[in-house]
Amino acid sequence: MTLAPGILFSIGSFHITNTLVTTLIVDAIIIALVLLFRASLALYPNGIQNFLEMLYEYFYDATKEVSDKVEIIYPWVTTFFLFIVISNLLGQFPGFETIRFFAAGSGEEGIPLFRTATSDLNVTLAFAVISVFMCHYYSIKYTGVRGYIGRFISFKMFPIFMFVGLLEFIGEFTKVISLSCRLFGNLFAGETVMGTVSSMFAFGLPLPFMCLELLVAVIQAIVFAMLTMAFMSMMMQKAH
């Protein structure tokens, strides 16, 4: 298993990778859920509506506890969670990565047709950049340009707050790295472990690892969503 996603084919200079295909499948699943929800929408919920309402209320209430800008933050948090958790769980389906695609230069074994979207750094980095960028956008919107700049440059108690500002500035870059690499690392490592264990023992032994991976899949989605929530709520408050 390589760190880079497998290129299935190209449209011009745009590479269609196996993680991009999985991304589209995840999109399709989410849209199908939305359509199912719309079809069964009622004042007295049942089935899928119950599940989606529970999810909505969980993130809405969690956001409400940390910030008063609930309406702004929760759509981001819930969307991150939905996409990441579905993508992670999709990768846990037995045989998901065993379907091979034989592209030019892919060798005799070919490359997997599907690969967990979040085991591609392009995806996790894109999500981390979106998350941190939106934090800064809302920071400027709700605390003003002066408040936003004051977060990083301050002459109070010179040079202590200047140094703190510098740390804050560096911290914004580390946020991107930590968000993207944590998710990518956990999912990629999980898949590698699963692949290795499954290649050694076909039955029995992979089972505990599969359970562990299911747990990791959900936990990592929650971690990403909750960190985004925490970062956004912190950036929307005025710096002291």
The residues that touch another protein, with contacts defined as CB under 8 A, are 2-5, 13-15, 17, 20, 23, 27, 30-31, 34, 37-38, 41, 43, 45, 49, 52-53, 56-57, 74-76, 78-79, 82-83, 120-123, 125-127, 129-130
Nearer to another protein, 26 or 236 (CB): 26
Closer to another protein at the Cβ: 161 or 188?
188
CB of 175 to another protein, least distance (A): 17
Closest to 227 (Cα-Cα) out of 170, 182, 179, 180: 179
User: CB-wise, 39 or 200, nearer to another protein?
Assistant: 39
Which contacts of 118-121 are long-range, i.e. CB under 8 A and separated by 24 or more positions? 118/84, 118/87, 118/88, 118/91, 118/183, 118/184, 118/187, 118/220, 119/5, 119/19, 119/91, 119/184, 119/187, 119/188, 119/191, 120/5, 120/17, 120/19, 120/184, 121/3, 121/180, 121/181, 121/184
> Amino acid identity of 91?
G
CB-wise, 30 or 226, nearer to another protein?
Answer: 30
Shortest CB 105 distance to another protein, Å: 14
Q: How far is the CB of 212 from another protein (least distance, A)?
A: 24
Q: How many CB atoms lie within 10 A of CB 29?
A: 16
Least Cβ distance, residue 89 to another protein (angstroms): 17
DSSP E strand boundaries for 90-231: 100-101, 111-112
Q: Which is nearer to another protein, 31 or 211 (CB)?
A: 31
Question: What are the DSSP E strand ranges found in the chain?
Answer: 7-11, 14-17, 100-101, 111-112
